[in-house]
Chains A and B, each alone.
Chain A
Amino acid sequence: MFNNVLLAVLFLLLPIAPLWGGEKEATLKLTGPVATLACKMCHTWRKPVLESRVLKAPHNKIILNHGDGQLWCFSCHKADNPATLEGDKHSAVTFATPQKLCSTCHFSQVKSWRGGAHGKRTGSWQGVRTAWRCTACHNPHDPKILPFKPSPPPYRPGSNPFGMTPVDKMESNNG
């Protein structure tokens, strides 16, 4: 009797099984800004230029420095709807899930990212994890991470301006 009930419950649970057993991304919340582009304003009536060219307004701000000159807008953007991305088997990918496109070339990075070795997690180390999406760190048109200004170096022993000597300490207490 009990076994039957258990079987029935398990059977009922079957449809939602992928939620915990399926792809890891299902349990991964993504964070970081998502671009909203008004491509349709022009591109419903104006066909995109499919060939490589020098970009003019309104696209002149885009510096394409990705893929050593091998890539062009439509390597990633869908020609018929540039606000979506060219996914696997020509499916449309939204800007909210860029990894689905990035993985077509950078499959090993995306694999690492899924596992947690690449990219960055925020929030908690347990439960549902939140990951920064690819485009939170990498500008898709110019993906190289820019250099940083480092935070100041540590003080060498005895050189801290706050002071280690009694005289210095008394001054900082008064001030």
Chain B
Amino acid sequence: MSEKKIRKKTYSKINFLQAFLSSSLNGGRLYWVWMFSLLSIALYGATAYSQQAQFGLGVTGLSDQITWGLYISNFTFFVGVAAAAVILVIPAYLFHRREMRRVTLLGESLAVAAVTVAILFVTVDLGQPLRFWHAMPFFGKLNFPTSILAWDMLVLSLYLLVNLILLWFILYNKFCNDSPVVKRYFPLVVVAIILGISIHTVTAFMLSGNPSRPFWHTAVLAPRFIASAFAAGAALMIILFQILHLTSKFRLSKGLIREIAIIMAFSQFFSLFLLGAELYNAFYHNTAHEISAHLLYTGKIAHDNLTISIYMAITAGLIACIMLFVRRVRENVALLNIASILIFFAIWLEKGLGLIIPGFVPSPLGEIAQYTPSAIEIKVTLGIWAVGAIIFTLLARITIAIEFDGLRHK
């Protein structure tokens, strides 16, 4: 390669970054209101986190009895959202749905934001976050392959990396007026699909690999995670794509929304079916191993709030599932949106707090403890959500600018 050509490439890389910056900094009033409110929520969360950093995790509602709470619940949920990018990538690249390819970039942006959120939730849950380097291969001592948490750290960072590379590669090449040939990045797409399934499977294994916690110790947990992740991810995408359709140059086709709705319907059905299989095991016999489920469904955990939430979640999930299987309802945008919102919150409750907390009750020594998230915990959680929304907004803007608005290097 000649020197001139290299210089040209470097220049256009700088130009690409400039384009990214200008797409982030140029926007209408609505955009700035949105970004400033997100930034202030993020800062609010950061101040709450500084309190936690100063006084330790004692400022949360956690205890030795219930050692994981709101943070890890959100972690498992957002790993699922990140994994759900796969439902766009698989049809687009393995089943050759060309019209879906343009949208996969938005799915990948969502995956990057969701993985970042998941990683942030683990980080704020650490007692000694400054020692993060102990988990770095070569520098620290990553307990790989024995510890499933080590696997989780590894696949999450790889998934983040692969998605960033894919986004960069496709967008940058398009930006240089050089539409990339699928063949050139297809191997990376396959890696991303495998990693997408892996991150959520490994997260499920991290919980289900604990015989000491019978509530999680079930082989159904990993498939249940994947099914519910696809449902919740699809729900989130349906809502987000419509918002983007209204606020940007992004155009959402009816066909696409229909396909995502069908994926959501089947995923939600499987998610509920697997939950039902769990419930059968829990209630057909009254064994000591199923006591967590009994406590959860009969209202002895967390001042009954969790019981109410889990019944709300199951009811909402069921209603949404039935709605989605009726064609006329599914193809009515307003009703589809209601079903999507129901599914999103149902799954957030069911595999977030509704899964993590009951695993700790009773404790391995039979103690029944209570958990209520503290104000600081809730503030930090809101802050991290805001960070995720900021990342998605920025990535979606540059993606839409290049993919749908024809932004190119001059």
Contacts and interface: CB of A to CB of B under 8 A. Distances in A.
A and B touch in the complex (CB under 8 A): yes
B55 A166 contact: yes
B63 A166 contact: no
A157 B59 contact: no
A165 B51 CA distance: 10
B59 A165 contact: yes
Interface string A144-175: 00000000000011100000111001000000
A164 B56 CA distance: 9
A166 B369 contact: no
Interface residues of A, number: 7
B370 A169 contact: no
B58 interface: yes
A156 B63 CA distance: 9
B63 A158 contact: yes
B54 interface: yes
A17 to B, nearest CB: 50
Contacts of A165: 55, 58-59
A159 to B, nearest CB: 10
Nearest to A157: B63
Contacts of A158: 61, 63
Contacts of B64: 157
Nearest to A168: B58
A169 B369 contact: no
Contacts of B66: 157
Given A157-B369, A157-B370, A169 B63 contact: no
A169 B65 CA distance: 21
Contacts of A156: 369
Contacts of B54: 166
Interface string B43-72: 000000001001100110101111000000
A131 B20 CA distance: 79
Contacts of A157: 63-66, 369-370
Contacts of A166: 51, 54-55, 58-59
Contacts of B59: 164-166
B396 to A, nearest CB: 38
Nearest to B58: A164
State which size class the interface on B falls in: 10 to 19
A157 B58 CA distance: 11
- Chain A CB count within 10 A is highest, among B58, B59, B65, B370, for B58
A165 B61 CA distance: 10
A172 to B, nearest CB: 12
B81 to A, nearest CB: 31
B21 to A, nearest CB: 39
A127 B165 CA distance: 66
B370 to A, nearest CB: 7
B57 to A, nearest CB: 9
Contacts of B51: 166
A102 to B, nearest CB: 37
Nearest to B62: A157
Contacts of B65: 157
Contacts of A164: 58-59
A166 B51 CA distance: 8
Nearest to B64: A157
B69 to A, nearest CB: 12
A42 B61 CA distance: 72
A118 B61 CA distance: 44
A167 to B, nearest CB: 9
A169 B58 CA distance: 10
Interface in B59-99: 59, 61, 63-66
Contacts of B63: 157-158
A84 to B, nearest CB: 50
Contacts of B370: 157
Contacts of B58: 164-166, 169
A21 to B, nearest CB: 45
Contacts of B55: 165-166, 169
Nearest to A165: B59
A106 to B, nearest CB: 35
B302 to A, nearest CB: 12
Contacts of B61: 158
A59 B188 CA distance: 95
A157 B157 CA distance: 34
Nearest to A169: B55
A110 B65 CA distance: 42
**Interface core residue of A156, A157, A165 (most chain B CB under 10 Å):** A157
A157 B357 CA distance: 15
> Closest 7 CB pairs between A and B?
A157-B63, A164-B58, A166-B55, A157-B369, A157-B65, A166-B59, A169-B55
13 contacts: A157-B64, A157-B65, A157-B66, A157-B369, A158-B61, A158-B63, A164-B58, A164-B59, A165-B58, A166-B54, A166-B55, A166-B59, A169-B55
